[in-house]
Structure 1
Amino acid sequence: MPKNVKRAGALIAVALLLASCSSKPPVSLVTPLPPVAKHPLTVKSSRDSGPMRGVWLATVSRLDWPPVSSVNISNPTTRNVVQKKALTDKLDKLQSLGINTVFFQVKPDGSALWPSQILPWSDTLTGKMGQDPGYDPLQFMLDEAHKRGMKVHAWFNPYRVTVNTKPGTVAELNRSISLNPASVYVLHRDWIRTASDRFVLDPGIPEARDWITSIVAEVVSRYPVDGVQFDDYFYAETPGSTLNDSLTYQKYGSGFNSKADWRRNNTQQLIEQVSRTIKQLNPNVEFGVSPAGVWRNRSHDPLGSETSGAAAYDEAFADTRLWVQKGLLDYIAPQVYWPFSRKAARYDVLAKWWADVVKPTNTRLYIGVALYKVGESSKNEPDWTVNGGVPELKKQLDLNESVPHIDGTILFREDYLNQPQAQEAVNYLRTRWGS
């Protein structure tokens, strides 16, 4: 076994130990833990590198990458050449636009885009779960982005196992029992629930949270990632497909005033232990979350924003404001996906509300901007089509660059830079950010 694999295993074991210990509410969030890295690492500040100009690059359902057609190429060598070229072409374009950070989705569901000892290979690469694509997409992305002077944050969807519950999906999951590693669906069937018509992990099970932490630890200990990000899928439910965690609540929920409070505590415990584990493995790796733009509406909480949209606190059971106040995050990137004119959730109202939240803390604030809406007709948000959406985009970027405590912008998502309806906005970005 290569030395680096042994070391990664040892680090992950330590991370798991830390994670299991922090499944109980910690005595102090600032209590120093035993050092993991052999040599002390100097903590670098991202504030020194200028404003964030980021983009999310999604791999779930091959939304941004790899090209859908590449999966049908039977020759692995040819397929890899096509996938790698598609990625380097994207990075070249992003570099020309002045993008300095890519949020690369490495765990789109219960599978991985790196050779993991915990997760099977993602089927997004070859069309078949568990099939080695013949190269390491995460390492390739890191090499190519860093070569271009761009940072890479490994983007994880923590709880999602699949994007649907179709019979074919279930059959593929069951077949994974022969893989090494197999899917969590067959290894820990008791952790699996259905919500939003998807298979997900039950966030109330401590061992499931420890398992997620070990996955993050594997990446941080093996790869020179610049950051780690969780998206907004914590408790993800729909009215017609709720997460049945009644038995989990009975087992672990004593001492809480409500199931909602217990759920929020579960989410926070995951954030706490992942944050601690990352800092123990490499304090230079930043940890952030990109939650829904609304924490709470003022109609429900006087501390909330003057909005009337779905709230992370009440819908996803994620008390994102508290995570900032507790210093659990290096950055937060709320998805403020509305224009200035959207009364229910005005862009400027939310961006300034978040700026006030981070103001007394050391947490950086990046605003997620709805590139996917630019140039798209909308009855409720017509401003996205006025002059190709450029005036609205300009107003949003102007605000981000003028309000203190807003440290940058992240665009959702990469493939919309290639769509016809967004080209006026893309040209504007090149003029504004490009070199």
Structure 2
Amino acid sequence: MSLKKSVVLFATALLLVSCSSKPPKSLVTPLPPVSKQPLPATDKNSQPVRGVWLATVSRLDWPPVNSVNVSSADTRIRMQQQALIEKLDKLKSLGINTVFFQVKPDGTALWPSKILPWSDTLTGTIGQDPGYDPLQFVLDEAHKRGMKVHAWFNPYRVSVNTQPATIAALNRTLPLHPASIFVLHRDWIRTAGDRLVLDPGIPDVRDWITSIVAEVVTHYPVDGVQFDDYFYTETPGSQLNDNQTFQQYGKGFSAKADWRRNNTLLLIEQVSRTIKQLKPGVEFGVSPAGVWRNRSFDAAGSDTRGAAAYDESFADTRRWVQQGLLDYIAPQIYWPFSRSAARYDVLAKWWSDVVKPTHTRLYIGIALYKVGEPSKMEPDWMVNGGVTELKKQLDLNESLPQISGTILFREDYLNRPQTQQAVNYLRERWGE
């Protein structure tokens, strides 16, 4: 979810797996027991989630790019707050009841953190106080409108690129309190996917991420906390070099892949436990890639041929559900019914079966960003302005009792010319 570019790369990676490739024998996950102390079930009468992701990384959805260039701080604050108010008003009119607001787009924060420097998305400069608290502002305004807010964190990303200007900006935070983790703990930082990231295999890194979530949950009335799909984010051409970390912390694991999956499991366990201790009413969820594993690699997987979270991100998302670590899971099922490599209905039903014996709620992330966009591989998004495909997906979500909601990726696409037929349809279907 995160950057559109990475979504496109992910979709591009959704190519047919060669028939000749043999599944790795050691990686088939045994079915662990469902948690003995299940999370409380939701009220059966509660409204289904109708959500939207609001991305702040690279100012994708907010704040307005032009607000950062104004000379007056008062004008900038007014522009940013007004833009957020207008967005929330529109979302309310469309029947959206939950906003997944990106509070930690990278190694910076959109609240006055004692752990992370201020985000440069707000002022153009890392560590510069924007003059108001964006997280508190969005909570106040959304709650005023009867909408919920989940604080969306990217756990491991430190920067969106590795350019010299970015490195220089991070280095300039050294005198600040707090400074960037890049200068405080250079030993935690790796390069992967052409980004600076934290090494998930270091226990202190997981503790540090947990402390950031705890800071938000303790000080803000958030309705939920969500992690996106970035755990291990390497690409074939830009791999995360954690050989030394594996040597130091990987005792007892014969395969690095299994150790990596255990690292993501440990983070999820730790964050889940921390939130429940601090505020049991705050929901904790993850929005992973839509494919857990392909059946060709694992008998328990889905009948798909796509990039799988288990093998690509080292995230055993099904296990997190089965062990009762999540209040909800929101897989990104960003393909139409006709995409044979990863059919929408196949994946939605597969996830429904996964959550069925558990108390984990299931929300489906759908690809608003593809609506109205020409595509040779997925022409369905163009038919009737994308309304035909959108209707099929929402109809299926509402027909399966295990699906408790839908989340649109992402907010700014509600304002694009190519989505307006679909937006009008959403207003008719969901609007008040």
Q: Give 1:144's aligned residue.
A: 141
Tell me if 1:418 matches 2:421: no
1:56-67 matches, cutoff 5 A: 56-67=53-64
**Given the superposition, is the C-alpha separation of residues 336 and 280 from structure 1 closer, same or farther in structure 2, using an over 3 Å criterion?**
same
Match of 2:326 in 1: 329
Which whole-Å CA distance do the structure 2 matches of 1:46 and 1:171 have between them?
Answer: 50
5+ unaligned residues in a row in structure 2: which ranges? 1-33
Name 1:79's counterpart in structure 2: 76
Matched, 1:287 2:278: no
What is the Cα deviation at residue 46 of structure 1? Answer: 6.0
* Structure 1 counterpart of 2:9: none
The SS at the match of 1:176 is coil
State the SS of the aligned residue for 1:155.
Answer: strand
Residue of structure 1 in register with 2:220 after alignment: 223
Say whether the 8 Å CA contact 1:156–1:230 is kept in structure 2: yes
Aligned match of 2:151 in 146, 149, 154?
Answer: 154
AA matched with 1:142? L
Partner of 2:11: none
Partner residue of 1:261 out of 258, 261, 286: 258
Q: Residues 47 and 218 from structure 1, CA distance in 2 versus in 1: closer, same or farther, beyond 3 angstroms?
A: farther
- The one-character-per-residue Cα deviations of 1:74-108 (angstroms, maximum 9, x if unpaired) are 11111000000000000000000000000000000
Alignment of structure 1 residues 281-320 onto 2, 5 Å: 281-320=278-317
Shift of 1:404: 1.7
Q: Report SS of the residue matched to 2:307.
A: coil
User: Quick check: 1:44–1:284 contact (8 Å CA) kept in 2?
Assistant: no
- Counterpart contact for 1:88–1:144, Cα < 8 Å: yes
Residues 258 and 98 of structure 1, relative CA distance in 2, 3 Å threshold? same
1:24-43, aligned counterparts within 5 Å?
none
Give the direction of change, closer, same or farther, for the CA distance of 1:31–1:367 in structure 2 (3 Å limit): closer
How many equivalent residue pairs? Answer: 398
What residue number does 1:96 align with? 93
SS state at 1:105 partner? strand
1:241-260 map, 5 Å = 241-260=238-257
Residue number among 170, 174, 184 corresponding to 2:171 in the alignment: 174
Q: What is aligned with 2:237?
A: 240
Aligned counterpart, 1:38: none
Change (3 A) 1:422 1:120: same
Q: Which of residues 33, 42, 45 in structure 1 aligns to 2:42? A: 45
CA distance in 2 between partners of 1:174 and 1:249 (Å): 28
Q: CA deviation at 1:314?
A: 0.1
In the TM superposition, residue 190 of structure 1 has moved relative to its aligned partner by 0.3
Task: Give me the identity figure in percent.
Answer: 79
- Structure-2 residue corresponding to 1:349: 346
Larger mean CA deviation between 100-109 and 69-78 belongs to 69-78
1:114 paired to 2:142: no
Match of 1:49, SS state, is: coil
Give the alignment partner of residue 275 of structure 1, picking from 272, 277, 296: 272
- Residues 28-52 of structure 1: CA deviation (Å, up to 9, x unaligned): 98799xxxxxxxxxx7936542111
Output the TM-score relative to the length of structure 2: 0.91
| Partners of 2:103 and 2:405 in 1: CA distance | 23
Aligned CA-pair RMSD: 1.4
1:394 equivalenced with 2:372 (yes/no): no
Quote the residue 1:24 is aligned against: none
